Amino acid sequence: MAGADAGPIANQSITWHNPTFGTNTILRSDSNGNAVLAWPTTMPVAPNNYINLRPDLAETDFVWKIEGSCTTQPGVLTALDAGAAGPAGALRNLTAGGCSAIFYYIQIPTIDARVQKRNVDGIWQVFSGGTLSLLGSQGGTIAQVTPGMGATTFSLTGNQLRPRVGQLGWTLMYSPPPPPAYLMYEQIDPTPGTNSVVDSDTNALRFTPGNSVGNVFNLVETANPIFATIRGHVELKKIDGTTVRGPFGSVSLRNTGGSRVTYNIPVSAEGSFEARVPMATPPITTNITLSFNRMADLNAYVDEVVGTGTWGSTNVSWSGNRGTLQIDVPSTGGTALGYIFRLRELPPPPPVPIPNGTMRPRYHGYLDPAKGVTLADSPTMSWPHAETGDFMPYVELQPLGDPPPGYRYEQEVVAWSYNGSMGIEARKADGLGRTGCRPGADAPPAGIDTSLLRGCVFRYRDNPSAAQMGAQARLHWSVPNAPNVAPNVYAYRLSQIRAVDMKVSALVETRVVFTATGQTWKQYTVMDGTFVINMLAVVTTK
């Protein structure tokens, strides 16, 4: 099996699961790769109506993704992680019309590369120094290794398989070690292999999806170069006013004027560094860029970069996490002193403030001809008896006050929970004897800790549409018996028409942010609320 466009796959099973009806159907593709499923024309109204899809390809060196659209509602077929490879997809908002879905099985590619060096006597040999870094198509480093004496192989992970066939996807870069005193690396000349091209600006190789072999980085040495040495140090000003030196981050040097080679410069325990820049004769380097990156877990920020050393500098800049400067190197070489990266210790962050606010119910009903979303004026509202409706809280947070200088406060409601009604907890048996949280809920975004919420959890939306309300808490109260409503409804039985309650909780994420670096301290707070819902008798006329 080759790649995403290799053609149809016959005799492949696909599992379709309809949570609305609780059914599973296993199909098998024909010789043309097609599998057809028909669903009832009585499908419930979207968005609670969807079918989960899962192919059963057993080979572990392949991943898959899904594309397609519904003929009556174009574009509503999406993967659960939009645009990503599996493991799951869903046909959503189905109508009585047809939909089509395409499963792409994508081979997990491998990339091999090697580094070879041409010595000053003109002899090529495989080189095992420096670092090869494979960067993903969505950013970030997939792998970073020291090249061996033969080919070095990278295997890409499934979550990096975003690019379509024919598009450049991943980048392979090589960074050499600092050269010996009598040599310089004049250039890095990459030679592309299969499915790769040269990025001339960065001396890197870029890849399309698929396996790639024959990638080479050629490292050329030049004897008897002129050297330019740049010395400096890293220092930290503490809260008590004292200044100490130390290895508070990493220093790198980029040869911007000629070969565009990047060197990592070690910082000593005393905070000093020495960047020895080799130059050919005549020099191919006229300037270098010196950069500093603070340690990720350091409780400090870059406060200043001093570039007034022996040779001066241009383009001096710094932010909370990084500082850079460009140094003009004279053609005669020599030594330049006095380049400093200064950090300042972070003041203790203020306590994360406790949020405060009010709640009102937001609701959506199906007897309303406009089928709109309504926000109640207070925690008390009226509702037609025996009508099924969608409910969620609207939370109005109060300002957190003024933070100390250098900080800012942030707050947002990130989730909420339906806790119950009429003394019946949300997970306990309702009027139909059904237990547990109902299917089809709009789940909070990944990474949010909802463990503090005690009920059935939903995503919080500031301004939901009618369709989005359909995936919030769906409730029904009726006399004398709760009817056989859909499985996603919390149904309650009343002995008479009367007021009922709806208990909810909102999860608020509050953050203290140090503006210079973006460092964040956060905490979650639960706000509880009770809504009073006055049941109204529905009068019909004939």
Q: For the segment 282-293, what is each residue's pLDDT rounded down to a tens digit?
A: 555 567 889 998
Higher pLDDT, 484 or 293: 293
Greater confidence (268 vs 72) lies with: 268
Q: What are phi and psi of 398, to 5 degrees?
A: -85, 150
Q: What integer pLDDT is reported at residue 256 of this predicted model?
A: 66
Give CA separation, 339 vs 233, 275, 276, in Å.
Answer: 7, 11, 14
Separation between Cα atoms, residue 328 and residue 277, nearest integer Å: 12
Give the integer Cα–Cα distance in Å for 493 and 497.
10
Q: Which residue has the higher pLDDT, 108 or 99?
A: 108
Dihedral angle sign, alpha carbons of residues 163, 166, 168, 173: positive
CA distance 492 to 476: 6
Task: Determine the Cα–Cα distance for residues 199 and 45; give it in Å rounded to an integer.
Answer: 51
Percent of the chain at pLDDT > 90 equals: 29
Mean pLDDT of 270-281: 78
Would you state the pLDDT for residue 141? Answer: 73
User: What does residue 217 show for φ and ψ, rounded to 5 degrees?
Assistant: -110, 120
pLDDT for res 63:
54
Helix (H, G, I), strand (E, B), or coil: what is residue 470? coil
**Mean per-residue pLDDT, 117-122:** 82
User: How high is the pLDDT of residue 427?
Assistant: 93
What are the CA-CA distances from residue 391 to residues 195, 381, 480 (Å)?
A: 53, 12, 22
pLDDT, residue 142, reads 76
H/E element holding 223? strand 212-223
Which value, in Å, is the radius of gyration of the alpha carbons in the chain?
Answer: 32
Calpha distance 62→3 (Å, rounded): 9
**Which DSSP helix (H) or strand (E) runs through 468?**
helix 466-469
379 or 123, higher pLDDT: 379
Predicted pLDDT of residue 537:
83
Strands of 136-248 (E only): list them.
141-145, 152-155, 170-175, 183-191, 196-199, 204-207, 212-223, 226-237, 243-245
Q: State the pLDDT at residue 269.
A: 93
- Give the pair of three-digit tokens for residue 120: 């000053």
Please check whether residue 256 is in contact with residue 287, taking contact to mean a CB–CB distance below 8 angstroms: yes
Whole-angstrom CA distances from 124 to 117, 139, 217 are 5, 33, 12
Confidence of residue 508 (pLDDT cuts 50, 70, 90): very high
pLDDT mean across residues, the chain: 78
CA 65 to CA 245: how far, in whole Å?
51
In the prediction, which pLDDT does 51 show? Answer: 55
Contact 154, 205 (CB under 8 A): no
Preceding amide of 87 cis, omega within 30: yes
Which H or E run contains 113?
strand 110-118
| Residue 212 backbone phi and psi in degrees, to 5 | -140, 130
Contact of 205 with 189, CB cutoff 8 Å = no
Q: Are 507 and 445 in contact (CB under 8 A)?
A: no
Distance (Å, whole) CA 216 – CA 210? 17
pLDDT at position 75 is: 38
Residue with tokens 């024919």, as numbered in its chain: 166
The pTM score is 0.52
Residues 6 or more apart whose CB falls under 8 angstroms from that of 163 comprise 137, 169, 208, 209
- The per-residue pLDDT for range 236-249, each reduced to its tens digit, is 999 899 999 999 99
Instruction: Count CA atoms closer than 13 A to 292's CA, side-chain side.
Output: 34
CA distance 402 to 382: 39
- Sorted by where each begins, the domain ranges of the chain are 10-39+48-66+102-109, 235-343, 357-536
Tokens, residue 535: 């049941």
Q: What is the pLDDT of residue 291?
A: 92
Contact, 493 vs 480, CB < 8 A? yes
Return the top range by mean pLDDT from 15-24, 383-392, 475-484. 383-392
Which tops the pLDDT comparison, 221 or 61? 221
β-strands 287-294, 249-254: how paired? antiparallel
From CA 440, how far away is CA 255, in angstroms rounded? 56
* Contact call for residues 331 and 313 (beta carbons, < 8 A): no
- Which H or E element spans position 467? helix 466-469
pLDDT at residue number 390 = 94
Answer whether residue 72 shows pLDDT above 50. Answer: no
Residue 465 in contact with residue 452, Cβ under 8 Å? no
The Cβ-side half-sphere exposure at 277, using a 13 Å CA radius, reads 34
- pLDDT of 296: 75
User: Which range scores top for mean pLDDT: 107-116, 331-340, 377-386?
Assistant: 377-386
CA torsion sign, 124 to 252 to 258 to 338?
A: negative
